[in-house]
Amino acid sequence: MRETDWTPSEDEIEWTRTNLEPLEVGGVWAPHGLEYERIGDTSLRLISIENHEGTREAHARVCKVLDALEWTVDDDSVERITNQPSNDSLADQHRAEMERIQSIVSGWTCPNEECGTHLTEFNLELCEWTNHGDHEFLNPDTGETGSAERWLAHIQCPNCDTEVPMNPLDYGYLAGEDLFYTWRISDTECLRVLTREGTVELIDSGKIGIALGSRIRDMDIPPHMQGTYCVLEKLDEEE
């Protein structure tokens, strides 16, 4: 499609590897407004791309990373080239999108080949967030690079104990919004993000929550939790 001068870092390559390895043949990987289907052991097919300069650059970069991993991409027969959606159809598209995501997520399995437990069967509440430092990223809307912390959400297979590091958004798709916005800060406590309505209710009832910055109790706070208003909750002892 096009060439790019960009060169991927080792981390970038590793990150892609951790995204691709759990994917089964027929499974879909969807980074940066792109969708790829795994069609073989080391091959992908581009099935959908947004009609957007930033997205085309993102695809060129994905191709470079895959080249480094010695994977191949077939981008000759793209099924869908999408444009920015109109406001009218956003709600419908959101619903369709959620259904599509659910069907993708239900195909994810434990990376241990002899195990194959579906990730949806993992205890998704037991998620450990780790910060892997600043990395360059491509903003698909502007086509420009910026810098952001890279985080991974680690979950563990209940059958073979394999630890599965996930890209935060994928974890969010898998676990759903409620779990995504509930962060375990110790074995006995979690911080749960309040909605705007929940915040108003709490304050009106005379209680006070916790507004999050970037650090708490000597821990880095995962990006999706930063700038939110939370309540501290005790976890059930039985768990």
Q: For Zn ion, which stretch binds (CB under 5 A), given 2-10, 114-122, 134-142, 147-155?
A: 114-122
User: Using CB under 5 A as the criterion, what x/- string covers residues 87-106 for binding Zn ion?
Assistant: --------------------
**Per rule CB under 5 A, is residue 39 in the interface with Zn ion?**
no
Return the range that interacts with Zn ion (CB under 5 A); candidates 51-59, 108-116, 210-218, 226-234.
108-116
CA distance 4 to 64: 8
Structure-token pair, residue 26: 């027929």
Among 110, 164, 193, 230, binds Zn ion (CB under 5 A): 110
CB of residue 111 vs Zn ion: minimum separation in angstroms?
A: 8
Tell me the chain's radius of gyration from C-alpha atoms: 19
Query: What is the rounded CA–CA span in Å between residue 172 and residue 93?
Result: 18
The two tokens of residue 155 are 């979950």
Residue 118 near Zn ion by CB under 5 A: no
**Candidates 127-135, 162-170, 175-183, 203-211; binding stretch for Zn ion (CB under 5 A):** 162-170
Q: State the DSSP code for 185.
A: -
Query: Of 73, 63, 22, 57, nearest to 137 (Cα)?
Result: 57
First to last CA, the chain: 51
- Least CB distance to Zn ion at residue 26 (A): 20
> Considering beta carbons, is residue 115 or 179 the nearer one to Zn ion?
115
| CA pair distance 74, 44, nearest whole angstrom | 6
Does residue 47 interact with Zn ion by CB under 5 A? no
What dihedral do alpha carbons 118, 121, 125, 129 form, nearest 10°? -10
> Does residue 158 bind Zn ion (CB under 5 A)?
no
Dist. CA 239–CA 231, nearest whole Å: 20
Does 82 engage in binding with Zn ion (CB under 5 A)?
no
Query: Quick check: 120 binds Zn ion (CB under 5 A)?
Result: no
Is residue 115 within the footprint of Zn ion (CB under 5 A)? Answer: yes
Task: Name the one range near Zn ion by CB under 5 A: 22-30, 36-44, 87-95, 153-161.
Answer: 153-161
Residues 127, 41: Cα–Cα separation, whole Å? 29
Residues that bind Zn ion (CB under 5 A): 110, 112, 115, 117, 157, 159-160, 162
